[in-house]
Chains A and B, each alone.
Chain A
Amino acid sequence: MSETTTTTQEVPAEIERFDIIFRIQHVLMFTTFLLLSFTGWGLKFAHEPQGLSSVWIRVWGGAETAGLIHRIAGIGMLLDFIWHVIYLAYLFATKQMTINLKTTVIPLPKDVVDVVKNFMYFLGLSKEKARFGRFSYAQKFDYWAVFWGMFIIGFSGYALAFPMQVSYIIPQFASEWIWQLLWLMHSDEALLAIVFILFWHFYNEHLKPEVFPMSWIWITGKISTEKLKHHHPIEYEFLFPEAAKKNKKH
């Protein structure tokens, strides 16, 4: 990302990890996600537990209003996703972002090795934790889960919200089964997304002792170099090679 760092001697106290646009995109993503989860949950479990979902949906203003909230939040999330992709394309086009194996969010074979290494460590089979670049496998998993969700849940959701418009573009041979498939995809993968956020994202970014109550990067966008060195040593060495070398000597 920043080619100039190789020449700087000074190590700043903190560096920017996510710029303001990424942070806004994240806020939009999680507000729409929460709205969608809350309203969608009532519909997915409409019949059970007995009558409770009706009460829950009434909290959201009744079935019509909850449906409207769900659709608006869904469109908001899709737009947010599209904005993110366009912004990434812009960063690449203007060379503000380049792909580097040490800083990329793209999954690499190293990530599988890291998972195995960490499991060994958890089980006491190894004394070494995996060393991460800019993004750990947990963070990459978090990031790409949203992409998976946008393709599976987002587009099926769009088709279900605007079935008439979408019906014109679906092929004739698929019309008999595609609607049921879309509905199953939307509902099952949404449950997966909620479970994923509840366990994975909440543990890693909220409940873990070292970040509790939350990692503040989502507001400040900044990470202290101390933390960077500790949690993302490969990125630290990449950004501040001289300082890293000095540290090793000491």
Chain B
Amino acid sequence: MVSQLLKYIILTKSFSCSLEQKSHIIEVLMSNSRFLFIVVPLLFLAVLVMPTPGACQESANCLACHSAMKGKIKNAGGAMVELNVDADKFGASKHGALSCTDCHMRFADNPHSTPSGDVPQAVLALSSKIASKFKVDPVAGAACSTCHEEVYKMVLGSVHGKNIVDKHQMDGALCLDCHGSPHYITSVKDESSPMSRKHQVETCGKCHGDKKIIEKYKLEENVMESYEESFHGRKLFLGHTKAPTCSSCHSSHDIRSKTDPASPVFGKNKLVTCGKCHKGANEKFVPAITHKRPGPIPHYGEKLLIILTIGVFAFIVIHVLLEAFADIRDAIFRKKEEEE
């Protein structure tokens, strides 16, 4: 056990020498028993003080290389794989305690050998369904379901999930599109999370504000602007702690098209949805918030108000300026006339 620990320390902590040199050092240390009894306890103390990447040893083995590696490579499927994993960020994330192979259950190609143990059938079946989405590692993408089974089912039944599973499109949002890199997932309460109150709207906007996607799926085209313009959007932006974000009305994992009767914003469901915050929401109240562009009455009404504002503004500014100039003129040129 002690020698294992020693190996681990040398492998992970001293990056200045090559792997061969490291193994040579290990051999030398193993052959000298004094080191085992003096140096090893000291090193053990050092380990307690030093920050360790990840919580488990197996992650540390992977991170020994991957935290130092930079850049991307192309895998057999032609997808670009990001090699770097930030060990500190991973350790601090929700999944910092997991070992890499909990999700990376199988490696499609070298240089890694697949860890022993079979990939569960459920995960394997799921991975083939979502393969169009996960070019890098579909098994890892499906592995979320081993812990988050219920939520994953919801997502697959949602308008986002169906787009991937049934229509085999790349665009539908799956776990990572919303929650960010799997290695750095944090709680939605954490401000840095792409699903936090601070970032959720811009995260949804990556697709729902994208003209190509809006055209492709015939989505409501004004959702981002209308939200930002609305009281809800303004208040959220100003730091109101109860202002609703996208998911407050549209739900999250179980998200539906607005034409789906199960959607919280479909027809009369709005009464319940708005009623979560606005007790007693009725049919004349719920149209107050909409993503549709203003109809002709508000549109031309605003035009009229703008004309009125500009008209009044022009009058008062011209009047004030002319009066001020006349006052100055009188003070300089006409004072004498008055005295006479």
Task: Give which listed residue, A63, A177, A180, A181, contacts B240 with CB less than 8 A.
Answer: A63
Interface size class of A (residues with CB under 8 A): 35 or more
Indicate if A14 sits at the interface (CB-CB under 8 A).
no
Indicate if A185 sits at the interface (CB-CB under 8 A).
yes
Encode contact with B along A8-50: 1 for CB under 8 Å, 0 otherwise: 0000000000000000000000000000000000110011000
Return chain A residues, CB-CB under 8 Å to B240. Answer: 62-64, 67
Q: How far is the CA of A66 from the CA of B239 in the complex (A)?
A: 11
Known A-B contacts A122-B326, A164-B281, A167-B282; the reply to A47 vs B237 at CB < 8 A is yes
> Are B285 and A164 interface neighbours, CB within 8 A?
yes
Indicate if B117 sits at the interface (CB-CB under 8 A).
no
Pick out which of these stretches binds chain B: A89-97, A191-199, A219-227, A232-240.
Answer: A191-199
Give the nearest-CB partner of A58 in chain B.
Answer: B239
CB distance from A74 to the nearest CB of B (A): 15
Q: How far is the CA of A54 from the CA of B237 in the complex (A)?
A: 7
How many residues does chain B have at the interface if contact means C-beta atoms less than 8 Å apart? Answer: 47
Encode contact with A along B270-291: 1 for CB under 8 Å, 0 otherwise: 0000000011111111011100
Indicate if B295 sits at the interface (CB-CB under 8 A).
yes
Indicate if A200 sits at the interface (CB-CB under 8 A).
yes
Encode contact with B along A237-249: 1 for CB under 8 Å, 0 otherwise: 0000000000000
Q: How far is the CA of A134 from the CA of B170 in the complex (A)?
A: 75
> Are B320 and A200 interface neighbours, CB within 8 A?
yes
Return chain A residues, CB-CB under 8 Å to B289. Answer: 179
Encode contact with A along B305-340: 1 for CB under 8 Å, 0 otherwise: 110110011001101101111110101000000000
Return chain B residues, CB-CB under 8 Å to A46. Answer: 233-235, 237-238
Known A-B contacts A163-B278, A172-B284; the reply to A119 vs B322 at CB < 8 A is yes
> Are A57 and B305 interface neighbours, CB within 8 A?
no
Task: Give which listed residue, A123, A163, A184, A203, contacts B305 with CB less than 8 A.
Answer: A184
CB distance from A182 to the nearest CB of B (A): 9
Encode contact with B along A171-192: 1 for CB under 8 Å, 0 otherwise: 0100111011101110011011
> Are A200 and B316 interface neighbours, CB within 8 A?
yes
> Are B238 and A42 interface neighbours, CB within 8 A?
yes
> Are B298 and A180 interface neighbours, CB within 8 A?
yes
Return chain B residues, CB-CB under 8 Å to A191. Answer: 309
Return chain A residues, CB-CB under 8 Å to B238. Answer: 42-43, 46, 53-54, 57, 63, 66
CB distance from B190 to the nearest CB of A (A): 20
Indicate if B115 sits at the interface (CB-CB under 8 A).
no
> Are A64 and B302 interface neighbours, CB within 8 A?
no
Indicate if A209 sits at the interface (CB-CB under 8 A).
yes
Known A-B contacts A53-B238, A63-B239, A176-B287; the reply to A185 vs B313 at CB < 8 A is no
Give the nearest-CB partner of A159 in chain B.
Answer: B288
Q: How far is the CA of A163 from the CA of B240 in the complex (A)?
A: 19
> Are B295 and A176 interface neighbours, CB within 8 A?
yes
Indicate if A208 sits at the interface (CB-CB under 8 A).
yes
Q: How far is the CA of A122 from the CA of B323 in the complex (A)?
A: 6
Looking at A42, A163, A168, the one whose CB has the most chain B CB atoms below 10 A away is A163
Give the nearest-CB partner of A145 in chain B.
Answer: B312
Indicate if A85 sits at the interface (CB-CB under 8 A).
no
> Are A180 and B295 interface neighbours, CB within 8 A?
yes
Indicate if B301 sits at the interface (CB-CB under 8 A).
yes
Interface residues of chain B, those whose CB is within 8 Å of chain A, are 228, 231, 233-235, 237-243, 278-285, 287-289, 294-295, 297-298, 301-302, 305-306, 308-309, 312-313, 316-317, 319-320, 322-327, 329, 331
